[in-house]
Each structure stands twice: as structure tokens, then as C-alpha cells.
Amino acid sequence: MPTSQTVAAIEAAKAASTAQLLFRCARLLDERALARLRTETGLPIRPAHTRLFPHIDLEGTRPTEVARRMGISKQAVGSLIAELEQMGVVERISDPGDRRARLVRFGTSSDGAHVLLDGLRMLGCIEADLAAALGPDRWHALHALLTDLLPLMPVVLQSAGGKRSYSTEGTSA
């Protein structure tokens, strides 16, 4: 069991970490979005399902490629895709480049809209609530900062790979 001094040091380090704040905000946003999605659609969508979404290209992606991108087994991806297909979120189609292969892509909702547009509309409602709480100027500033940061992430993280020391010197763990 950690001492109170260790707990205080951990909490202080977490509070000072921008990455930790981003992780926490992302987790809370994900939870709220999933709850809203379940309420509005009645679908039994889970975090495991939505983690597939960024790895599915609009024109379709082979399930083996989704598995590679996510770093999980083809069987796990296949199971999640089957569940999403039953919900009408994705569909499997023949790969035009190789008729023996299949692609998974996002489907359309009952009103004919692309399911991603439906999801983005729901996110927009959550964003509007957050913008109202934070204030529009600060919300737009956050958006601008994240827009600038996103393309830098792969470059900075790749170039820093292995060069940084993640020493725990000065902390008691």
C-alpha cells in the first residue's frame, strides 16, 4: 500500500501532466458519447466497438488491416465487426481489387444518412455543451491548439522514440 506521501506525489504529478489531463478528458468524453449513443439509438455499443472506428477507412478496410492497425487478433476484430454489422453500423463488401477478399466499411442509418455523420452530430451536441461551460472563445482556442498539435504528434513522438529518459528519480514508488 502506498504511503500518503507517495499518493500525494502521484496526484501532484498527474495534475501537472497535460497528457494525463488529455487522457482523462478523452475518457470522460468517450463515456458521455457512448451513453448518448446508447440512449438515442438503443444500440448496445461498447468502447471496444468504437475503438475500431478510427481504423476503418471510408472506402472500406480489410479486417486483417484493422487488426494490424489496432495490434489485436484478427479473431477479436472479426467478432467486433460481426457485432457492429448486426447493429447496422458497418457492412462487409467485396474488395473491388480482389473479389476473394472482404472490406468492412461504415453503413447508412435508417434515414439514409451515413452513420459517421449521425455520430458526429451527437458529438457536436456534446461539444456545444462543453463550449457553453468553458466559453466559446476558450473552446475555439482549445480546438485551434489541438488542430495544431495533431499533425505534430507522429513526428514528435517518433523522433523522441527511445531518446527520453523516463526516470523515476526523485519520486518514491
Q: Are residues 56 and 96 in the same domain?
A: yes
Asked, for residue 34, whether it belongs to a domain, the answer is yes
Asked, for residue 168, whether it belongs to a domain, the answer is no
Q: What is the pLDDT of residue 163?
A: 55
Q: Distance of CA 67 to CAs 51, 61, 76, 92, Å?
A: 11, 10, 8, 15
pTM score > 0.95 for this model? no
Asked, for residue 156, whether it belongs to a domain, the answer is no
Asked, for residue 13, whether it belongs to a domain, the answer is no
Whether the pLDDT of residue 155 is over 70: the answer is: yes
Q: In whole angstroms, give the CA distance from residue 19 to residue 121.
A: 27
Q: Give mean pLDDT, residues 124-143.
A: 97
Angle in degrees, CA 148, 152, 157, rounded to 5? 145
**Matching residue, cell 523516463:** 166
Asked, for residue 102, whether it belongs to a domain, the answer is yes
Q: 57-66 pLDDT, tens per residue?
A: 999 999 999 9
Q: Which domain holds residue 118?
A: 18-42+112-150
Q: Give mean pLDDT, residues 132-151.
A: 96
- State whether residue 104 is helix, strand or coil: strand
Q: In whole angstroms, give the CA distance from residue 131 to residue 147.
A: 16
Our separate counts of H helices and E strands in the chain read 7, 2
Q: What is the pLDDT of residue 158?
A: 83
Task: Please count the structural domains in the chain.
Answer: 2
Q: Are residues 103 and 116 in the same domain?
A: no
Asked, for residue 158, whether it belongs to a domain, the answer is no
Q: Are residues 103 and 119 in the same domain?
A: no
Pick the residue with more confidence: 2 or 131?
A: 131
Q: Are residues 58 and 136 in the same domain?
A: no
Q: In whole angstroms, give the CA distance from residue 54 to residue 96.
A: 22
Q: 61-103 pLDDT, tens per residue?
A: 999 999 999 999 999 999 999 999 999 999 999 999 898 999 9
**Matching residue, cell 513522438:** 157
Asked, for residue 2, whether it belongs to a domain, the answer is no
Q: Are residues 99 and 141 in the same domain?
A: no
